Structure 1
Amino acid sequence: MDTFPVTKKAVIFIDRDLFPTPHNGGKLKLLPLEVVPYPSDLSFPLDFTHSFIISDRLELAKNLTTRGATLLFILTSRGLTTLSKLPPQDLAFHNVEEALDWVIEHPRGIEDFQLKLTLGAQIIKKGGLVAFPTETVYGLGANALNEEAVARIFEVKGRPLHDPLIVHVQGVGEIEELTTTIPPAAEKLIERFWPGPLTLVLPKSPLVPDVVTAGLPSVALRMPANPWARELIRLAGTPIAAPSANAFGRTSPTCARHVEDQLGGRYDYLIDGGSCRVGVESTVLSLVGEMPMILRPGGITREEIEAVIGTIDKKNFENLGSPSSSPGLLPTHYAPRTPLVLVRNIGAYAKRPDVGIIVFQKSLQKILGPSITLSPRGNLREAAANLYRAMRDLDAMNLTLVVAEKVPEEGLGAAINDRLRRASKSARKRGI
Structure 2
Amino acid sequence: MKTKHLNNQKETVAEAAKLLQAGEVVAFPTETVYGLGADATNDLAVKKVFSAKGRPADNPLIMTVGSVEQLRPFVTISDAAKKLMTAFWPGSLTIILPIKEGMVSMLVTGGLQTAAVRMPQNELTRSLIREAGFPIVGPSANLSGKPSPTTAAHVAHDMDGKIAAIVDDGPTQVGVESTVLDLTAAVPTILRTGAVSQEDMADVLGSEVIDGTSPKSLSADQTPKAPGMKYRHYAPDKDVFVFDPLDWSDLKEHLQTGDAVMADEALLKQFSEKKQPSWSLGNNLDQASENLFAGLRYFDDQENIERIYVQAMPNIGLGKAYNNRLAKASGGRLFEGPHAE
User: TM-score range, shorter-chain basis?
Assistant: 0.7 to 0.9
**Aligned equivalents of 1:314 and 1:241: distance in 2?**
25
**Aligned equivalents of 1:405 and 1:242: distance in 2?**
29
Q: Give the drift of 1:152.
A: 1.2
Which residue of the other structure, out of 185, 190, 194, is the alignment partner of 1:294? 190
Q: Is this contact kept in 2: 1:349–1:355, CA < 8 A?
A: no
Aligned equivalent of 2:43: 147
Q: Give the drift of 1:368.
A: 4.0
Which residue of the other structure, out of 245, 249, 262, is the alignment partner of 1:358? 262
Report which stretch shifted further, 399-408 or 361-370.
Answer: 361-370
Instruction: Say whether residues 1:324 and 2:224 are aligned partners.
Output: yes
Aligned equivalent of 1:124: 20
Q: Give the drift of 1:421.
A: 0.7
Structure 2 SS opposite 1:342: strand
Instruction: Say whether residues 1:383 and 2:288 are aligned partners.
Output: yes
Change (3 A) 1:105 1:191: closer
Q: Is this contact kept in 1: 2:36–2:141, CA < 8 A?
A: yes
Aligned equivalent of 1:407: 313
Q: Is this contact kept in 1: 2:6–2:167, CA < 8 A?
A: no
What RMSD, in angstroms, separates the aligned Cα atoms of the two structures?
2.0
**Aligned equivalents of 2:176 and 2:119: distance in 1?**
16
Aligned equivalent of 1:312: 209
Q: Is this contact kept in 2: 1:360–1:406, CA < 8 A?
A: no
**Aligned equivalents of 1:185 and 1:319: distance in 2?**
27
Unaligned runs of 5+ in 2: 335-341
Instruction: Say whether residues 1:417 and 2:323 are aligned partners.
Output: yes
Aligned equivalent of 2:338: none
Q: Give the drift of 1:263.
A: 1.1
Aligned equivalent of 2:241: 341
Unaligned runs of 5+ in 1: 1-103
Deviations 1:289-324 (A, max 9, x none): 110000000121222212211321134443264562
Q: Is this contact kept in 1: 2:145–2:231, CA < 8 A?
A: no
Q: Give the drift of 1:360.
A: 3.7
Q: Is this contact kept in 1: 2:242–2:333, CA < 8 A?
A: no
Q: Is this contact kept in 2: 1:142–1:150, CA < 8 A?
A: yes
Deviations 1:211-252 (A, max 9, x none): 001001100000010000001101100100121111110011
Structure 2 SS opposite 1:216: coil
**Aligned equivalents of 2:223 and 2:193: distance in 1?**
14
Q: TM-score, normalising length from structure 1?
A: 0.70
Q: Give the drift of 1:393.
A: 2.0
Instruction: Say whether residues 1:194 and 2:99 are aligned partners.
Output: no
Q: TM-score, normalising length from structure 2?
A: 0.88
Structure 2 SS opposite 1:219: strand
Q: Whose radius of gyration is greater, 1 or 2?
A: 1
Aligned equivalent of 2:337: none
**Aligned equivalents of 1:124 and 1:358: distance in 2?**
38
Q: Size of the alignment, in residue pairs?
A: 317
**Aligned equivalents of 2:332 and 2:34: distance in 1?**
24
Which residue of the other structure, out of 215, 239, 248, is the alignment partner of 2:111? 215
